Structure 1
Amino acid sequence: MTNLVVFSLERWDNVWRRNQILLAGLLHADPELRVLFVEPPEDPLHSLHTKHLPRLGRGVVRRGRRDGVPDGRLWTYQPTKWLPRRAGRALGATVDERMAQSVMRAARRLRLVDPLLWVNDPAGATLVRLSAWPSLYDITDDWLVAKRSPEQHAKLLSDENLLLAACSAVVVCSPALAESKGTRRQVVLIPNAVDVEAFREPRRRPVDLPREPIALYVGTVHADRIDLPLCVHLAEELNRSGHGTLVLVGPALLTSGQRACLLAAGIVLLGARPHLDIPAYLQHAEVLVVPHVVDPFTDSLDPIKLYEYQAIGRPVVSTPVAGFRDLKNPVTHIAEGSGFTEAVIGILLSPHLPTGPGPLMPGIPTWAERVVAMQKVLGGLRPLQM
């Protein structure tokens, strides 16, 4: 029986990301696999400071078919972060050490004997060190080039140095990450993918999608990724000309000021939607957009939307961001600044496009292929040598 602990950057919810998709595939492929999925902790003190209702971590929760996985073989664990890092150091144990110890206790309670460890959040470095479990570091974002405070950057650098040195395997999702991290050690490139059949099956128009022509973005709405001024310019021009509406679907991790600015421009923020519903939104948009910032952080990404947009086959307008700028197909248009807005409006003014999936480009990779690749990496993990 294989036991696996996953230290994740995200919660297990209805907005499926790489880790959830791969884990669901691994669980269906291996009836002996049992998984403890560690979610980011609840932080009651931070919630109070930001005037939100403080909550405790949910602890261990048994997951099943309603969560997209087989019954009784996946548990999530959400700890509670009781102290800020500075206070933890003063008391003689860091917050990350307390977190790691709580994860190890949860694994023991679930009788996950000698598990493998899959780390996606760099803060899991402490768990790698304390547990000595055979470990994999799965890098999906280069946080070292993201805009962070000096203290946060130093912590990220320390954690990544340990992970690159101690983990028996390192997986990256993009060619840029393979190039940058591959200078330190051997890495395995496993890009993202898509369930082509699920995105090709015709869906009904979502009831919350505006009736006018739609320029649609699907993904996390965050200033690290989204060019907010570009979105505002596009929305204002669409509204002024009456050619359509910009709709953003996905978790909106915005300040109150950023949110107000987007709404004032006429942008429709639909928020997070279940992953099973995403094909319907994409199929009923006249044009799909990728108004991403182009910088070293976004160049490290391999956007899942790159594959989902290709599977839908509808017109795409993207800034020259990693993945999209290298596509060679007639429905993808690369533009910047005012040219981005002009390209979107040009498509909306073209003869009416039928709803539903458009032409399918050959060779789009599937998640089933990625599951096989990840199985191979996990099967080769070896005990930690410190």
Structure 2
Amino acid sequence: MTDLVVVSLEAWDEVWRRNQHLVAGLLRTDASLRVLFVEPPADPTHDLRSGRRPSFARGLREVTDVAPGRLFTVRPVKWLPRRLDARADERLAGAVIRAADSLGMRHPLLWINDPGAVALAERSGWPTLYDITDDWLAADRPESERRRAAANEARLLELAGEVVVCSPELVRRKSATRPVTLIPNGVDAAAYRRAMPRPADLPDGPVALYLGTIHPDRIDVDLCAATARALDTRGTLVLVGPNLLAPEDVARLHDAGARLLGPRPRDAVIGYLQQADVLVVPHVVTEFTDSLDPLKLYEYQAVGRPVVSTPVAGFRDAEDPRITLVSGDAFAAAVAAAVPAASRFPDGADGPVADWSERVAAMAATLHRLEGSRA
């Protein structure tokens, strides 16, 4: 039986992202595989400083709806900031090793998506795959965080037996010192093309919809507000996904007429996409967003709705007549013009799109190479 420890940047929850799709696909195709999925650590001290209710560690939990007896999650806890506890990362690594040991995982493969887990690779000695999905060296972060991220990444690029990246731009940036493997994102095309009813909380009338994490690293709040105002009585801008904006930005969007519905489970989001009149990508264009391979590109293409996007990576490279690239002041007007002209699903939902099964096969081949290196 093959054992795999996955250190993720996101929790295993109802909002599925790249890691969950790949892990679930690997478990479906390999009945001998067991996975320990390590969620981002709880940080009660930071929660208290941020005015949130503190979160704490969560012990081993079996995920029974994917692969009973073969998929487990764990969330360790970071009790103190690194500036007060120089051994914080070492303690987190120890917690993961103990969790793996309790499952009888003596010599697993290690898949690291969170570069902060470099101490785990060093301490465990497990064959390591480093999966780069965001270029955190280009994100807007304090200099101390950027230096730590750069040091962690440099060490992982040295330690890892395999390095995977999700976008051509990341290939360009990260392949200078060693070979990397490109495994982009995908979509469950068959599921996204089965008709779903209109969600009850979608507003009446035409809808311009954004699906994804509403994060200041990605979303252009000014553009969203302008788009909501441009729609006026002709429709509503709806944002579906985890909301990480500051309260004042949320208030600005509400005042402009936008609706923020929050996160929805992986299967429920399909109905929102199918029932939208136009899908939008009001992203900022930065060095950070240029490193991404947006998951929403594949989801949007699978349902065949018209798309209005800023010229961000992925969308600007897609050869798809349903995608309109617009920047600046013209964006809001383009969305407002697209809404009344939109067709209805399933019109357009028959174009080519990359399926997750292709990406799972590529990741399985990469893990097999890594396992072979153990010998």
Smaller-chain TM-score bracket? over 0.9
Distance 1:365 1:384 in 2: 29
Contact 2:157 2:178 in 1 (8 A): yes
State percent identity of aligned pairs.
52
Which of 184, 208, 211 does residue 191 from structure 1 map onto? 184
**Normalised by the size of structure 1, how large is the TM-score?**
0.95
The 10-residue stretch of structure 1 (192-201 or 43-52) with the greater mean CA deviation from structure 2: 43-52
How much is the aligned-residue C-alpha RMSD, in angstroms?
A: 1.3
Shift of 1:384: 8.7
Contact 1:135 1:167 in 2 (8 A): yes
Q: What aligned pairs does 1:215-230 form with structure 2 within 5 A after superposition?
A: 215-230=208-223
1:164-199 deviations in Å (ceiling 9; x for gaps):
001000000000001100112100000001111101
* Structure 2 residue aligned with 1:86: 83
* 1:370 counterpart letter in structure 2: R
The 10-residue stretch of structure 1 (318-327 or 44-53) with the greater mean CA deviation from structure 2: 44-53
Shift of 1:8: 0.4
Say if 2:279 is the partner of 1:288: yes
Distance 2:365 2:169 in 1: 22
* Structure 2 residue aligned with 1:33: 33
Contact 1:138 1:172 in 2 (8 A): yes
* Structure 1 residue aligned with 2:149: 156
Which of 221, 231, 247 does residue 224 from structure 2 map onto? 231
Which of 360, 366, 370 does residue 381 from structure 1 map onto? 370
* Structure 1 residue aligned with 2:206: 213
Contact 1:135 1:383 in 2 (8 A): no
Distance 1:367 1:349 in 2: 33
Distance 2:4 2:178 in 1: 24
Q: What aligned pairs does 1:327-338 form with structure 2 within 5 A after superposition?
A: 327-338=318-329
* 2:22 counterpart letter in structure 1: L
1:280-314 deviations in Å (ceiling 9; x for gaps):
00111100000011011001000011011111111
1:345-384 deviations in Å (ceiling 9; x for gaps):
111232x622x22224543111011111000000111599
Shift of the 21–361 alpha-carbon distance from structure 1 to 2, 3 Å rule, reads same
* Structure 1 residue aligned with 2:118: 125
Q: What aligned pairs does 1:1-386 form with structure 2 within 5 A after superposition?
A: 1-65=1-65, 69-89=66-86, 94-239=87-232, 242-350=233-341, 353-354=343-344, 356-360=345-349, 362-381=351-370
| Equivalent residue pairs, number | 374
Contact 1:135 1:382 in 2 (8 A): no
* 1:270 counterpart letter in structure 2: L
2:203 alignment partner, SS class = coil
Contact 1:170 1:186 in 2 (8 A): yes
2:85 alignment partner, SS class = helix
* 1:88 counterpart letter in structure 2: D
2:288 alignment partner, SS class = helix
* 2:81 counterpart letter in structure 1: P
Distance 1:266 1:303 in 2: 26
Distance 2:121 2:347 in 1: 46
**Normalised by the size of structure 2, how large is the TM-score?**
0.97
1:276 alignment partner, SS class = coil
1:45-104 deviations in Å (ceiling 9; x for gaps):
111111211121112111111xxx111111101011111101112xxxx21111001100
Distance 1:158 1:330 in 2: 42
Distance 2:74 2:93 in 1: 12
2:210 alignment partner, SS class = strand
Shift of 1:41: 1.1
1:314-333 deviations in Å (ceiling 9; x for gaps):
11000000011122222110
The 10-residue stretch of structure 1 (323-332 or 73-82) with the greater mean CA deviation from structure 2: 323-332
Contact 1:250 1:271 in 2 (8 A): yes
1:202 alignment partner, SS class = coil
Distance 2:246 2:12 in 1: 23
Contact 2:304 2:351 in 1 (8 A): no
Contact 1:169 1:377 in 2 (8 A): yes
1:248 alignment partner, SS class = strand
Runs of 4 or more, structure 1, over 4 Å off, are 382-385
